[in-house]
Amino acid sequence: YVKEKGKNSFQFFSDEMNHQFYRKMVIEKELRSALSRNELTLHYQPSWHLSTEKVCGMEALLRWTNQTLGPVSPSEFIPVAEETGLIIPIGEWVLKEACKQNVRWQRAGYPPMKVGVNVSIKQLLDESFACMVKDVLKRTGLNPDYLDLEVTESIAMYELDIMIRKLNELKEIGVSISMDDFGTGYSSLSYLKQYPLDTLKIDRSFIKGISSHEDHKAIVMSIISMAKHLQLKVTAEGVEDMGEYDFLKQTECDVIQGYAISRPLSPDDFEKHVFGKMKL
């Protein structure tokens, strides 16, 4: 039957699906040895305090350049790392590296500021996560005041009591907690109030074109005012132009992050372009 219809008339997978399947398989295989081959690095994106007009922190963002695949975006390999459990060792490496770098910069005399580290739900659910964080802080010598852990709204898919307990364990260590990509998930507002959070990071999909989208303006204004009522700080992600900047300044958003300020930078470039322009 298949033969009769000709070679290409019946395919279970389209070429596109085959290609994606194959790429994912290669990513999975290569990711397993990414750590031991030193293929992972961190870039740092500065965050900007709107009222003082100063850099006030940085977010560590993972970068992977593979020997055969070349650079692979985190939005492609992080989901694979999560599925395979590789996010546990990789996440630990990220935390260690970010803390080490922060201590190095503080010891070099640069102005101390918080580093944000993304934490996936798999890590948060790992029994030894809080212990690991405590241990990394101790071994690197970073004061917990300078570490912010970013979790996503997907924590709302798990039992409220369990998540509150997990987050409280982290708060007891002395670190702060941000909810990343806020607005894209399923957290109900009544949940939000119960998590021990410090900051809401508004997802960049709401910021994009904010100057011309009345509905996005309304959403962002509501998130900012809600956050203030809940005594949370607000960060807007993905601020790319001055129209967006001005709107967020007017609406009294606390902190912004985005290409309007800077792209994520290698440690060397961060020293040159961010610390280099600050008065020490």
Binding residues (CB under 6 A) for ligand C2E: these are: 45, 61-62, 73-75, 78, 91, 94, 118-120, 150, 180-181, 204, 237-240, 257-259, 264
Identify which of residues 119 and 137 has a Cβ nearer to ligand C2E in the complex.
Answer: 119
Question: Secondary structure of 92-116 in the HEC alphabet?
Answer: HHHHHHHHHHHHHHHHCCCCCCEEE
Which of ligand C2E, Mg ion, none interacts with 94 (beta carbon under 5 to 8 A by kind)?
ligand C2E
* CA 137 from centre of chain: 19
Identify which of residues 61 and 234 has a Cβ nearer to ligand C2E in the complex.
Answer: 61
In angstroms, the first-to-last Cα distance of the chain is 76
148 touching Mg ion, by CB under 5 A: no
Which of Mg ion, ligand C2E, none interacts with 120 (beta carbon under 5 to 8 A by kind)?
ligand C2E
Which of Mg ion, ligand C2E, none interacts with 73 (beta carbon under 5 to 8 A by kind)?
ligand C2E
Residue 203: CB minimum distance to Mg ion, A: 6
Which of ligand C2E, Mg ion, none interacts with 78 (beta carbon under 5 to 8 A by kind)?
ligand C2E
Residue 60: CB minimum distance to ligand C2E, A: 6
Q: Which residue is nearest to ligand C2E (CB)?
A: 258
- Tell me how far apart the alpha carbons of residues 203 and 266 are, in angstroms, rounded to a whole number: 23
153 touching Mg ion, by CB under 5 A: no
Binding to Mg ion by CB under 5 A, coded x per residue (else -) over 71-100, reads: ------------------------------
The answer for residues whose C-beta is within 8 angstroms of residue 132's C-beta and 6 or more apart is: 92, 95, 126
Identify which of residues 45 and 101 has a Cβ nearer to ligand C2E in the complex.
Answer: 45
Q: Which two tokens stand for residue 94?
A: 């990220």
Identify which of residues 9 and 202 has a Cβ nearer to ligand C2E in the complex.
Answer: 202
- Applying CB under 5 A, the site for Mg ion has a residue count of 5
Binding to Mg ion by CB under 5 A, coded x per residue (else -) over 169-188, reads: -----------xx-------
Give the binding site for Mg ion (CB under 5 A). 118, 150, 180-181, 237
